[in-house]
A and B are shown apart, each in its own frame.
Chain A
């Protein structure tokens, strides 16, 4: 099965929903851990780093899958602005889900921090300490994370708009399970 039909491939849908869970958890952990001094700070930080590396790997796989299988066409009657918005927001989502973990890794390295993942896995350090780079990368990681959450809210709003208002099959193309319409095709 390819995306030539009206739905993304099973692999694409699986990656989408798995990453949706990971990324939302990641963003909440990120803002949560930075607002607490409670003991949970330590496990949250380990989870954040572990999820970040996981998301980076999944995002690269997902990008390759997307390039290989493409995406179902948008409805022909979709207005031009919405079409443009869809394309730009999807590019933004791909860029951010790859860039944010990379910024996280590099801001830790340039802060002379070891990166230790769940299971006591120590990653090698690939960059030297640098005050200026640490500050730049930290700022980028911080502000782009909020931008990421904003784009995700936009993405969810658009998906629901397709599902509930336009009912044009765009939501169903990424829905985790076939909807009634598809299970029993009309006509």
Chain B
């Protein structure tokens, strides 16, 4: 049954165009979502790339906080936190802890005295299988991310600080706070705000700190340099071998209206502070074969009873840490697993 010829031809052509448009549109939407059409989008990969020092990244290592040493111990919960959060770890008791003292540097071989900011990666494990990971530090002013967000233009940072006076507290701290010659003498802060959810569903914005029970002994940067490039790792290993080291965990509760979205703005003094327990570091292990090496201390891995707040940085850190983890696990052949054989001697 012959049909009038022009009509089906036109209709077939039209159909093929329609199909091409649907498929092309789908592919374009996908490419846009993936960021391929947005060369300036701040992706986790770009952040991680921007952290690399001029000589390139330390292959096989974390892309930031690259130098560190593992520890294990326990978290002794005194039960006071249970009123704020239903997380199991706040019920009175002892919970396994695993972590990593580290220096906020992209260079795994940096000398200790060249790195101002020190950090502590921590994982607390709960009997039901949940874990709580965090990456806390001495004041850091979230500045790795700000740096990354900026171009490579050397003046961009100055311009940024001028525009954002809240950035000054970090500069002030970096200038005036004493250096110490021990990871055990440092205070580590969550910096970021999180939400604690109590058993009754009440929510509180909180930040927390680990306050050292060891006495802080100030040292000048010059004197620290004289102790050697890897003194901090030797020192913490010797100190913990003599006696477990303890930090008191203090949770600071925001008042309504306190800024939670900007980690650089401290909350006013006088906020409620709850001592919830103590981190006890019992054993130090080298990172190379230690239990912390394979852990990504992603600060958004939170137990039930804790969740992220409107602070945007945990999400950004989570995205960037995942890229860093994927990179370093794929570079395992560069990681100095049995490095001592090659040269340098222990340290």
The residues of A with any CB-CB pair to B shorter than 8 Å are: 27-28, 31-42, 45, 111-114, 116, 120, 122, 124-125, 129, 131-132, 134-135, 138, 149, 153, 156-157, 160-161, 164-165
Contacts and interface: CB of A to CB of B under 8 A. Distances in A.
Nearest to A24: B26
B206 to A, nearest CB: 17
Given A135-B329, A160-B15, A36 B41 contact: yes
B296 A113 contact: yes
Contact of B23 (A28, A39, A135, A156): A156
Contacts of B304: 120, 122
Given A42-B314, A135-B330, A138-B326, A31 B30 contact: yes
Given A35-B43, A138-B326, A164 B19 contact: yes
B34 A31 contact: yes
Contacts, number: 113
Contacts of A129: 294
A164 B12 CA distance: 8
Interface string B1-38: 00000000000100110110011001101100111001
A164 B29 CA distance: 23
Interface string B101-135: 00000000000000000000000000011110000
A38 B149 CA distance: 12
Interface of A is mostly: helix
Contacts of B130: 114, 122
A37 B44 contact: yes
A112 B295 contact: yes
B278 interface: no
Contacts of A37: 42-44, 47, 145, 315-316, 319-320
